[in-house]
């Protein structure tokens, strides 16, 4: 199973993602902002297989987290899914910053499960 980091500031959305992904036997960590995500990725040297990243976070944008992931060599193989209600920003994240996929919010449960399974097998 995959090690997944969720970066999502909406508590209800975050809990839904956690429930869905943990039910699929993934190991899941969740944080509410970019500062906490950077702490896990840099200070604690977490190396997730998959990051599910909201772009519109309180404080720093999700682009800060995505940019960091793409600049750290040990995270080169980390897949990043942008889950956002802002498709224009997500397109920029994919085209300019190297995100792997965009999911329009609200994300359907089956879509989230299938997407995690797909990236787990890459």
CATH code at 107? 3.40.50.2300
Query: CA–CA separation, 2 vs 60, rounded Å?
Result: 26
Helix then strand count (H, E) for the chain reads: 5, 5
Q: What's the whole-number mean pLDDT along residues 29-53?
A: 96
pLDDT of the residue at 59: 77
Structure-token pair, residue 13: 């959305």
- Mean per-residue pLDDT over the chain, rounded: 93
Q: Structurally, how many domains does the chain consist of?
A: 1
Residue 71 pLDDT more than 90? yes
pLDDT for the residue 54: 94
Q: Report pLDDT for 72.
A: 96
Q: What is the model's pTM? A: 0.94
Q: What is the dihedral of CA 24, 106, 54, 8, to 10 degrees?
A: -60
Is 80 exceeded by the pLDDT of residue 89?
Answer: no
**For the chain, what percent of residues have pLDDT higher than 90?**
77
Inter-residue contact 69 to 97 (CB < 8 Å): no
Mean pLDDT confidence for 23-38: 96
Q: What is the rounded average pLDDT of the residues 61-85?
A: 93
For residues 6 and 121, the model is more confident at: 6
Q: What is the residue range of 61's domain?
A: 3-120
Q: What is the spatial distance between Cα 12 and Cα 54, in angstroms, rounded to a whole number?
A: 13
Kind and range of the H or E run holding 103: strand 101-104
Are the C-beta atoms of 101 and 82 separated by less than 8 Å? yes
**Predicted local confidence at residue 91, as pLDDT:** 78
Whether residue 58 is predicted with pLDDT greater than 90 in this model: the reply is no
């Amino acid at each position: 199973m995959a090690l997944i980091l969720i970066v999502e500031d909406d508590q209800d959305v975050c809990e839904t993602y956690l429930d869905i992904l943990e039910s699929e036997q993934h190991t899941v960590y969740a944080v509410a902002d970019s500062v906490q995500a950077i702490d896990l990725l840099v200070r604690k040297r977490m190396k997730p297989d998959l990051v599910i990243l909201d772009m519109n976070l309180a404080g720093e944008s999700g682009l800060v987290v995505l940019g960091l992931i793409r600049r750290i060599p040990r995270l080169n193989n980390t897949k990043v899914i942008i889950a956002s209600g802002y498709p224009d920003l997500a397109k920029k994240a994919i085209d300019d910053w190297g995100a792997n996929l965009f999911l329009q919010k609200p994300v359907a449960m089956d879509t989230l499960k299938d997407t995690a399974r797909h990236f787990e097998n890459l």
